[in-house]
Every structure is written in structure tokens, then in C-alpha cells.
Structure 1
């Protein structure tokens, strides 16, 4: 059975995409279609902040894209980072295994790998920190829920945010969807990975699938995406227990039985 994954393909130098691999293990033929495009911004300011750990109580990452922005900033100063800066960031908080893996490549030790949402991570931070610390630094995207900032501020945990990437619709998303449907027809399942992906793809999906839309099993990577799908009137067949390839593949496989 065919599964359409509406997410960005893994970077080529990181090997095969784990979502496709996990689907294949379960006998599912998966295709990735990118739905978002990203523009990095404020990198000079981000670089300045990264090299001033003494002014912050820690770092927070809730997306791989924010870590990519940091990696770009370190390109010309990696030796300095390794020698005298990275070890001064005492607390580094992350959502999910993918983000944690990238953070480790920066030489940092993340906390929160097993948290699947910003809401859960905020509880972890609140348990470990108090309002006497220096502000935690949170590089983030232009489209974000305010769950984590709101939760921390309500508890008096100081926070400083910086938008380091802007999210927009991938320029070829509609064309790619049309080509997929022309070649494959409606997939057995479609998985969404973000509320933005729902907003950008759903109108085209509805037009292409027509009456067959109700035959598709729609899957969500997590509760935030599920809520966005339901707000748009989609019937969500399954939600991954955690935002990992294994959990999503398991959920979709079960829904398709």
C-alpha cells in the first residue's frame, strides 16, 4: 500500500530517510513530498548569542531547523566553539530524538530527547529551573505555537526568543501533488508533519482526491498537527504516540489493517 509523507526529505549526506525505511519494514511503499520552504534570518544576531553563553541560563531547541541555523553560524568559528564555548552552555533542552541527534553533533548534551511536544518539554524545564536563572535562549521559527514561552513565563522562568528561520509554502507543492496523484492515484494513507503542512496541502489534496478523500487514512505526527487537521474537518485515523519514524509507521500500519 502507498503512503504519502508530507515532509521534507532528509538531507542527502545523512543517508536514507528513516521514515521511508520504517514504512518499508512494515510492507508500505512511502513517498516523501516537501511541503515547506525555509529562509534563515538573523544569523548575525544568533552567532552573537551563541558565543555569549555567560549571558544565558541555557538553550532551547524545538525543531531540527533551528539547529541547522546554529550549524550555519558555526561554519567559520567551529574551532573556537569547540575549544572555549560549547562547554559553557550548561543546560540544553530539546524536543524529540531528531533534534537531539543534531544537537549532539554540535558537541552539546541535550535534555528532553524523549519529550514529544513543547508542552511536555516546558514541564521538564520548569522542574529543573527557577526564576533566579539568567534567561533561557530559544532560537525558533516564524510559525510557532506559544505553548512553551507561555508556560515558562507563567512560572517566572525567564526566556529570550529569536526568530532564526521563516517558514513558507514550498513553491512546487501543488505541482508535486498533482504529479503524484497522476502517477499513483490516491494513496492509502497521508501523513502530515506540521500544522503548516496541513494549511499548505489540504486544499490541493481535496481537489485531487475528490470523493475518494474519505477513503484515505490520515495520520498525524503528533497532537498539535492532529488538532490542526481536525480543525480543518479531516477525520484523523491515527496519531503517532511519539514523533519518531517507528511510532508513526506503527500507527499507520495499524490504521490500514
Structure 2
């Protein structure tokens, strides 16, 4: 049996531009043909962050907590703050160069006036320049983390940080861990569970306050394709939410071509092959299935030529009777859907697949490579 697995996400790359991704390593070691298909291109948006950010560390608004439901939200903040840090260093270097040029001009003028005095002054200036250089280097180092410190200590004065998934939590601690020692970090595996936890914390905080106008809002960093589950749950529980779109998810022509090539390979493959398709996000599900449906429609093929559907038995029987003619015309594709297995990372992704009437064979217990590999191995051993 030839084992194939396709991850609908971008792989992690090391400094040598080689794939260094735990999903790749786990399955490659078990003799899987591994493939990554980047389903969406991420474009970070800084306009809303600029409105929130004040370089003087002033903010008239305090929040109960912040919500970050994806790694892209965290990366958008990190790159935004890094851009400020680099700008400060460049400005400092430019100021240093201007000061040096001014000093050189002054020295030249002084040389024409008095050589003896210049010698003494030059020695003093050299000492001063050395001291200034040391001070400038120290200032640059201090500026490296100044923006992050302002952002978390002076602007976002809250104690609750809400995250979805182990990956997002690890990234958040890696990037901002130095500044959040006093914050309460809460991690849940899906949006619904996170919304329930937020509601519990919020009600405990304000249970004696009958005036909701005085309650602090939560700040939600999200993308343009964020799901409705979390905002709707909080709204129904009278919890104020301020949304900041910090990144845009866009489709890619390369991704479409990769998915089309995948469909062709599946349709032409033999019975001794199996394909695992691993979905990581609802937005990825929507994009991949739309692309597949369009291609199958162009080939006059039903979706069941690729996927098993998620209908109940009665609906399946009705569909089978209605599709007898199609099946007779597509004998070569009859068993393709038996070769396709679908895995979801997280309950939200699973629910999205089911909404599209796709049978989900496994849901990874935790959003990491080891958990997915274990779940697929156990599934394969029981078949």
C-alpha cells in the first residue's frame, strides 16, 4: 500500500530554506509521501494596529483581556512592533551620522583657527565620540524591546490573554513571554470552549456589577475570514467585543494549481494507494472544497468521486439510486472515495467539513504533529 498525506498549510522552513516541519518529519519517517499545499496567502494589515498604538504609551481604554485565535494574529502584532523597532534604530543611526558630519565640519573650522587648540580638542572629542558611540549602542539595544514593552505594559493593561491551540500558545510565549509574566493565559482547543471560558471569567469579574456600561470590553485580534462562533457566543452573553482585523487571507493561483494536480493524481491512482487530506482551518476547508467542486464540475464528476459524504444511510440510498447512471459512466472512479481519508485539526475545522457534507475520519486530539500521527496510525491499524 502506497501511503500519501497532504497538509493544507505552509510548511515550516529552516535557515537553509529546507522543510523543517514536525508534520513532515513524523510522517516521512513512517514512509508517507508527504506534500504541503499552501491554501491561503496571508497579508498583514497594520492600519488598525496603528490606531491602537501610541508611542508615548498612553491609552484611554482599558480592556478585560485580549483574544488571539490564530498564529497569524500573533505574527501580525510581532511584525508590526518590529517595524517600529527597526525604524527607531535607523533614525538613531541617521542622527548619529548627522552629528558626526557636524562635528567634522566644526573640527575643520577649528583647524584653520588654532592648530594647538585643535590637538587638545580633538583628543577630547575622540573621547567624547567614543562615549557617545557606547551610549548610542546601548540606546539601540534598549530600543529593540521598547515597543513591545509599551504595547503590553502601558497600552494593553489587562490580565487575561485568551488563545486557541497549543501552537498559538507556544508562539505567543516565545514572542512576548518577557512581557506577560503577570498575565493570566488561557488556552482552549476550539472557539466554542474558549467563548465559554471567557464568559465564565467575565461573569466572575462583574457578577456584582449590574451596570454593563462600566464593564470592560475584550480586544479581539482576527483575520478578515474569522468565524462567527466566538463573537456570536459573547454577544449573546452581553460581553462587549472590539474586533481588530490584523491580517487578510487571500487565495493564490499556485494553490489552485496544486489542488488541481492533486485531484488528477487521485483520479488516476490505483487501488493500492491511500491519500490522507489534512485540514487545519475552516477557511482552508472552504477554499479547498470550492476548488475541488469547480474542477469536478468541469469534468462532469460528482464530489463522491473523491470524498465520502456525511449523509445518513437513508439519504445515501436515495443518492445511490439517483446516481446509478453517473456511476456506470465513471467505472474507473468508483473506488476513489475509498482511497481518500480526511483528518481535521480541531473541532471548528471538523464542524466546517461536516457542514460541507464531508465525512471526517479522524480529528486530531491536540493541534500538533505527534497527536495527528498517533490518531492516523491508530485508525490505520484498526481498519
Name the residue aligned to 1:46.
49
* 2:24 alignment partner, one of 12, 20, 45: 20
Contact 2:275 2:341 in 1 (8 A): yes
Q: Tell me the TM-score normalised to structure 2 length.
A: 0.59
Q: Deviations over 1:91-123 (max 9, x none)?
A: 21111111112211123546223x110111112
* 2:12 alignment partner, one of 10, 13, 18: 10
Q: Tell me the TM-score normalised to structure 1 length.
A: 0.85
| Cα distance in 2, alignment partners of residues 229 and 96 from structure 1 | 19
Which has the higher mean CA deviation after the structures are superposed, 68-77 or 223-232?
A: 223-232
Structure 2 portions without partners, runs of 5+:
86-143, 207-213, 297-304, 307-332
Q: Is the aligned partner of 1:93 residue 2:167?
A: no
Distance change >3 Å, CA 174–CA 85, structure 1 → 2 = closer
CA deviation after TM superposition for structure 1 residue 214, in Å: 3.0
Contact 1:61 1:140 in 2 (8 A): yes
CA deviation after TM superposition for structure 1 residue 26, in Å: 4.6
Q: Is the aligned partner of 1:63 residue 2:70?
A: yes
Distance change >3 Å, CA 233–CA 84, structure 1 → 2 = closer
Name the residue aligned to 1:81.
147
Q: Deviations over 1:198-236 (max 9, x none)?
A: 222235556495541332111111222222222333222
Which has the higher mean CA deviation after the structures are superposed, 89-98 or 78-87?
A: 78-87
Structure 1 portions without partners, runs of 5+:
none
Q: Is the aligned partner of 1:162 residue 2:162?
A: no
Greater helix share, 1 or 2? 2
Which has the higher mean CA deviation after the structures are superposed, 204-213 or 190-199?
A: 204-213
Looking at CA atoms only, which structure, 1 or 2, has the larger radius of gyration? 2
**Aligned residue runs from structure 1 range 113-152, under 5 A:** 113=187, 115-130=188-203, 131=206, 132-152=214-234
Structure 1 vs Structure 2 CA RMSD: 2.8
Contact 1:67 1:102 in 2 (8 A): yes
Q: Which runs of 4+ in 1 moved over 6 A?
A: 181-184
